[in-house]
A and B are shown apart, each in its own frame.
Chain A
Amino acid sequence: MSGTITPAPSAPVPWEELVTTALLGTDRRPAGASGGPAGLLDAAALHTVRRRAGLLPAAPAARPEPAPADPRPALPPAARRRLAQLLADRSAAGGPAGRRGTAPDLTELIPQWLATANRHGFRAPASLLPALLDAARARTDLRPQALAFAGPRGLWLAGLNPEWKFALRGSSGGSSLPDPTEPESVARLWEEGLFAERIALLAAVRAHDPAEALVLLATTWSTERAEDRLMFLDSLRTGLSPVDEAFLEQALSDRSRNVRSTAAELLSALPESALAGRMASRALSCVSPDLTGDGATVVVEAPHECDASMEHDGVVTVPPSGRGERSWWLGQLVEATPLATWPARFSGRTPREIVGLPVADDWAEELHAAWCRATVRQRDPEWARALLGTPSVPPSNGPGTASLAERSKLLGILPPAERAGWVAGFIAAHGLSEAFQILGVCPTPWAEPLGRAVVDALDIARDAGSYPWSFSGVMGLAERCLNPAEADRLEVLTTTPDEPEDASPGANGYWSEAFQRLVSTLRLRAAMDSELIPA
């Protein structure tokens, strides 16, 4: 306990004696109390009141270090109130979520509020730090922004409460992290630290000097556990360069299969690496222009075996159930081959032209999927454009892949404006039913023409007579991502027009409600943004 209040000295009545007598009973221990139970209680009452009246303060425990100063400016009062409201709404335990009604969903606006506040460089109000840390504890996606906003005082506070120890992890984690330029303290923490501390340390050193991180990792590499080696290797992803090749090449012979395949993956992202070259020469022997004709067809001859050298280079021998092993091997070879290999192979054709070539014997799907994975791995916008094709072409007829997950990864490689334009074209042509995932990769607020395309598509969906909750995912995204300036243009949609005969009953009322929520959320976001503009 925290330093109990100490009673004043001088207690003439032997209190312990009274307690013992009371515990055993005056029948058994009559000597302790004169006057039986009543006398005992009289004495105990006297003692209790005397003790309470004579309480003295305790000796203070060691004070914590004061929280470091935070030089950022304080929030404007209106923004401060807004944050209190957003956080209060989050923590207030509501009943089961019912129909959403016309009011904005405040919890969903917290990430955006935090991002804007951080962009302006405001300091978090101290009294809201506990609610902020609680919010970040419950939602991992909030953590980076919430912790940046919480600042040094937030970290200081988190250090005092075990429930917030998540805040001390991660790269910003720590005040305890040594300066990467001090080799001795770095080496000590690397030798003695906990796993999370070491990961953070490695990332810090890597950010400072990528080669230095390799040296550090090499000092203990052979003694690390397999799962730790995997995580350490994974942290080399940042700042990957040809300097890392020798180390990664060595890791290809690691005892752990996961470590081997991660090393191979990293090497294949280095087009100049020996591994990439070996994979390219293997892939080139499998994929070639049709030499018998005019070279306008791609011929695929999948590998017949997975030899030891392929395995050494990270090719996984056994396919998942349901897949043929030859196509499985082919996919892995093409995926790890530098994309620059292909134009040379196909007499200088551009990626778009190569992707457009017919592929013999039904290998198209397999080959294009592998090119998609290679594009994502090597982050090549030119190939991404080629594989995405024209947005208005239905996914199943286009080049590349029909998978929305793959497409959103490809979109992620394109510059933001181009991404938004492509998605707008897709929605204009195919509506919203498949748009949720690819909308998620578009930068916010949505640039035109994307915002307009989404609103038009919602309007069309309403006219088609379906219920709005079929589009609740997109609606929610629109609330968070549409440009707040669109609110006025959307106002007309909040009215309830007469229902067409073939519409679902009552749908129009729900649509009007959904659009009202959209408009009020946009207005609220505009208000939030303006409150955060520094005076």
Chain B
Amino acid sequence: MLLSHGGEPSRTAGPVARWTVEQVLALAPDDASRKAGSKLGSAGPWSGGGCDGSDAVWGLCKGSGSKPYRTVVDLTGPAYKCSCPSRKFPCKHALGLLLVWASDESALPPGEAPDWAGEWLTGRRERSAGKAEKTERPAADGTSAAGPADPEAARRRAERRAERITGGAQELEERLADLLRGGLAAADQPGYGLWEEAAARMVDAQAPGLAARVRELGAIAASGPGWPVRLLEECALLHLLDSAWLGIDRLPEPLAATVRTRVGLTAPAEGPPVRDHWLVLAQYDTPDGKIVARRIWLHGRETGRTALLLSFGAAGRSPALALPVGGTIDAEITPYPGAGQLRAELGRQFGVPSPAGTPPPGGTAATAIGAYGHALREDPWLDAWPVTLRDVIPVPSGDGWQLADAAGGAALPVAPAALSRPGLWRLVALSGGAPVTVFGACGHRGFDPFATWSAGVGDDAACGTVPLI
């Protein structure tokens, strides 16, 4: 296993505190790895371990074979290398090594890396230094960055794809019109098949964004009471997106970029890089067809900006990018184009992640729901908007929960999706009926909590960001 993701570290000096066990476990690609890693998280199976300041840790892990596995973790990425055949990333040995490092200060004494670890670490450092130079050079001599080999051919390809999408959008419009002419009441009768077929047609039309929306329509008809209203809403928004694409020439550029993204045409991240100390607010995976999508939410300490890092893992593999929740990274991010677009790409990192961070300042329930409404002006297809609620109390309400302003008479219902997650109970436990700060997504379905900070003193304040998802 030898993988490293886009984060390109550069060196800084200075000791950095260890990560917490929770932060290490948050790096695990799945539950099985978490369990397997935990089993290796004691000094028992490890030998020859050590650490290099706080930049790297390494160790030999006794496995079932005669030769122990060689495991190295570059903490600045973090990036992992292990001689085991696992395709999990990070593998259980890397997780176990990090757990040993996190929980036992004496288990990995500082020292010189052995050759097998040193070579890889040196290689990484040289490569990242080289990359850093490369990215700086074009700006220096004024030539444009390396583009496609044949711009003319690329333009023709893009045109053909746009035509296909236009065809797809038109077809979808006809299907929607047919549906509305016959009435939604009939929609739960043909069943899922109709939508699946339409979604497949949109995939053919190279419009994955449209395809995903169509597929979701299929699930609404079976989603319980009130489905006709939800189905009409989503049909209307799909119609809005179709119309926007078909008339994209007449749209102002920021909105046009949003429409292109929504349809499924992702432009490369090209905004000017933003450097900040980014607090990792949350990291969670959602299955998306055959691939797994990983979302990592960041909040910049100086810029006050919230950013979303989106990465994907193909069948059976977890996404390569993993950051410790609750940690702070000094890094550059490059935003993707589009109005109200939060997605960004992680660029250069400076130094190793620090294990602590201050929560975003946050606001009231009213400002949160207001921020969502405001964001809809830029992107009417938004389901939710990331916000931080300050001083709210989780309150049971009927079958569900609310987050109520500690001072004042306003509350946001907790989104149905969050009600069945164990994180909700962590939030309630941490609050104990007292105000907490909560980061999450606020939208028309309610508030979906992702992370929380307790205002209280003592153990739970010391543990910083508590992940809820």
Beta-carbon contact of B365 and A57 below 8 Å: yes
| Residues of B with C-beta under 8 A to A519 | 44
State which residues 96-135 of A face B: CB under 8 Å.
101-104, 106, 123, 125-127, 129-131, 134
Beta-carbon contact of A58 and B463 below 8 Å: no
| Residues of B with C-beta under 8 A to A48 | 233, 236-237
Per-position 1/0 for A62-98, Cβ under 8 A of B: 1111110000001101101110110011001111000
Beta-carbon contact of B35 and A52 below 8 Å: no
Report if A56 contacts B (CB, 8 A). Answer: yes
- Shortest beta-carbon contacts, A-B, top 5: A25-B183, A2-B400, A520-B44, A66-B433, A92-B35
Beta-carbon contact of A28 and B380 below 8 Å: no
Q: When the two chains form the complex, which single residue of B401, B422, B443 contacts A130, counting CB atoms closer than 8 Å?
A: B422
20 chain-A/chain-B pairs, Cβ below 8 angstroms: A1-B398, A2-B398, A2-B413, A3-B397, A5-B369, A19-B229, A25-B185, A36-B177, A49-B240, A49-B376, A54-B373, A57-B369, A102-B45, A103-B39, A104-B44, A106-B39, A126-B460, A127-B430, A519-B44, A527-B104
| Residues of B with C-beta under 8 A to A527 | 42, 104
Beta-carbon contact of A125 and B377 below 8 Å: no
| Chain B, Cβ-Cβ closest to A74 | B459
| Residues of A with C-beta under 8 A to B25 | 84, 88
Q: When the two chains form the complex, which single residue of A19, A22, A58, A523 contacts B411, counting CB atoms closer than 8 Å?
A: A58
Report if A248 contacts B (CB, 8 A). Answer: no
Report if B21 contacts A (CB, 8 A). Answer: yes
Beta-carbon contact of B413 and A63 below 8 Å: no
| Residues of A with C-beta under 8 A to B426 | 127, 130
State which residues 107-145 of B face A: CB under 8 Å.
none
Beta-carbon contact of B432 and A126 below 8 Å: yes
Q: When the two chains form the complex, which single residue of B182, B228, B411, B460 contacts A61, counting CB atoms closer than 8 Å?
A: B411
Q: What's the tally of chain A residues with a CB closer than 8 Å to chain B?
A: 82
Query: Smallest Cβ distance from B446 to chain A, in angstroms?
Result: 7
Query: Smallest Cβ distance from B456 to chain A, in angstroms?
Result: 8
Report if A291 contacts B (CB, 8 A). Answer: no
- 6 extra interface residue pairs, beta carbon distance < 8 Å, beyond A22-B235, A45-B239, A527-B104: A47-B236, A48-B237, A49-B376, A92-B31, A104-B42, A516-B44
Report if B269 contacts A (CB, 8 A). Answer: no
| Residues of B with C-beta under 8 A to A3 | 397-398, 402, 411, 413
Report if B344 contacts A (CB, 8 A). Answer: no
Beta-carbon contact of A82 and B430 below 8 Å: no
| Residues of A with C-beta under 8 A to B228 | 19, 22-23
Query: Smallest Cβ distance from A508 to chain B, in angstroms?
Result: 15
Q: Given A55-B372, A55-B373, is A81 in contact with B42 using a C-beta cutoff of 8 Å?
A: no
Query: Smallest Cβ distance from A228 to chain B, in angstroms?
Result: 33
| Residues of A with C-beta under 8 A to B44 | 102-104, 516-517, 519-520, 523-524
Per-position 1/0 for A269-286, Cβ under 8 A of B: 000000000000000000
Per-position 1/0 for B404-438, Cβ under 8 A of A: 11000111111000000010011011101110000
| Residues of B with C-beta under 8 A to A77 | 459, 462
Beta-carbon contact of A80 and B459 below 8 Å: yes
Per-position 1/0 for B1-34, Cβ under 8 A of A: 0000000000000000000111001000001101
Report the Cα distance A101→B35, complex, angstroms.
Answer: 14
| Chain A, Cβ-Cβ closest to B374 | A53
Query: Smallest Cβ distance from A464 to chain B, in angstroms?
Result: 26
Per-position 1/0 for B366-388, Cβ under 8 A of A: 10010011101100100000000
| Chain A, Cβ-Cβ closest to B366 | A57
Beta-carbon contact of A520 and B181 below 8 Å: no
Interface residues of A, dominant DSSP: helix
Report the Cα distance A511→B426, complex, angstroms.
Answer: 42
| Residues of B with C-beta under 8 A to A103 | 39-40, 42, 44-45
| Chain A, Cβ-Cβ closest to B34 | A92
Report the Cα distance A37→B39, complex, angstroms.
Answer: 60
Report if A27 contacts B (CB, 8 A). Answer: yes
Q: Given A45-B237, A49-B376, A126-B460, is A92 in contact with B32 using a C-beta cutoff of 8 Å?
A: yes
Could you tell me which B residues sit within 8 Å of A by CB distance?
A: 20-22, 25, 31-32, 34-36, 38-45, 62, 64, 99, 102-104, 173, 176-186, 228-229, 232-233, 235-237, 239-240, 243, 365-366, 369, 372-374, 376-377, 380, 393, 395-402, 404-405, 409-414, 422, 425-426, 428-430, 432-434, 443-444, 446, 454, 458-460, 462-463, 466
| Residues of A with C-beta under 8 A to B380 | 45, 49
Among the listed stretches A153-161, A219-227, A233-241, which one makes contact with chain B, having 4 or more residues with CB under 8 Å of it? A153-161
Report if A259 contacts B (CB, 8 A). Answer: no
Report the Cα distance A127→B454, complex, angstroms.
Answer: 10
Beta-carbon contact of A59 and B376 below 8 Å: no
| Residues of A with C-beta under 8 A to B430 | 126-127
Report the Cα distance A142→B258, complex, angstroms.
Answer: 54
Q: When the two chains form the complex, which single residue of A38, A102, A104 contacts B62, counting CB atoms closer than 8 Å?
A: A102
Q: When the two chains form the complex, which single residue of A52, A88, A127 contacts B466, counting CB atoms closer than 8 Å?
A: A127
Report the Cα distance A4→B400, complex, angstroms.
Answer: 10
Beta-carbon contact of A60 and B410 below 8 Å: yes
Beta-carbon contact of B35 and A59 below 8 Å: no
Beta-carbon contact of B233 and A44 below 8 Å: yes
Report the Cα distance A61→B402, complex, angstroms.
Answer: 8
Beta-carbon contact of A53 and B373 below 8 Å: yes
Beta-carbon contact of B35 and A41 below 8 Å: no
Beta-carbon contact of B232 and A18 below 8 Å: yes
Most B CB contacts (10 A, CB to CB) among A36, A44, A54 go to: A44
| Chain A, Cβ-Cβ closest to B381 | A49
Beta-carbon contact of A44 and B236 below 8 Å: yes
Report the Cα distance A75→B237, complex, angstroms.
Answer: 51
Per-position 1/0 for A487-529, Cβ under 8 A of B: 0000000000000000000000000000011011001100100
Q: Given A58-B411, A78-B103, A126-B460, is A93 in contact with B433 using a C-beta cutoff of 8 Å?
A: no
Beta-carbon contact of A44 and B232 below 8 Å: yes
Beta-carbon contact of B38 and A23 below 8 Å: no
| Residues of A with C-beta under 8 A to B414 | 2
Report the Cα distance A59→B422, complex, angstroms.
Answer: 25
Report the Cα distance A55→B434, complex, angstroms.
Answer: 26
| Residues of A with C-beta under 8 A to B446 | 2, 5
Beta-carbon contact of A94 and B32 below 8 Å: yes
| Residues of A with C-beta under 8 A to B35 | 88-89, 92-94
Beta-carbon contact of A55 and B444 below 8 Å: yes
Query: Smallest Cβ distance from B264 to chain A, in angstroms?
Result: 19
Q: When the two chains form the complex, which single residue of B185, B400, B412 contacts A24, counting CB atoms closer than 8 Å?
A: B185
Query: Smallest Cβ distance from A232 to chain B, in angstroms?
Result: 35
| Residues of A with C-beta under 8 A to B184 | 22-23, 25
Beta-carbon contact of B459 and A66 below 8 Å: no
State which residues 146-176 of A face B: CB under 8 Å.
153, 156-157, 160-161
Beta-carbon contact of B45 and A1 below 8 Å: no
Query: Smallest Cβ distance from A456 to chain B, in angstroms?
Result: 23
Report the Cα distance A66→B428, complex, angstroms.
Answer: 11
| Residues of A with C-beta under 8 A to B393 | 63
| Residues of A with C-beta under 8 A to B182 | 25, 27
Report if A26 contacts B (CB, 8 A). Answer: yes
Report if A311 contacts B (CB, 8 A). Answer: no
Q: Given A27-B181, A45-B239, A125-B460, is A2 in contact with B402 using a C-beta cutoff of 8 Å?
A: yes
Query: Smallest Cβ distance from B281 to chain A, in angstroms?
Result: 16
Q: When the two chains form the complex, which single residue of A19, A62, A66, A523 contacts B43, counting CB atoms closer than 8 Å?
A: A523
Beta-carbon contact of A127 and B463 below 8 Å: yes
Beta-carbon contact of B232 and A19 below 8 Å: yes
Report the Cα distance A38→B365, complex, angstroms.
Answer: 36
Report the Cα distance A24→B228, complex, angstroms.
Answer: 11
| Residues of A with C-beta under 8 A to B181 | 25-27, 36-37
Q: When the two chains form the complex, which single residue of B178, B239, B372, B454 contacts A41, counting CB atoms closer than 8 Å?
A: B239
Most A CB contacts (10 A, CB to CB) among B25, B443, B444 go to: B444
Beta-carbon contact of B459 and A75 below 8 Å: yes
Report if A40 contacts B (CB, 8 A). Answer: yes
Report if A448 contacts B (CB, 8 A). Answer: no
Report if A42 contacts B (CB, 8 A). Answer: yes
Beta-carbon contact of A85 and B237 below 8 Å: no
| Chain A, Cβ-Cβ closest to B410 | A57
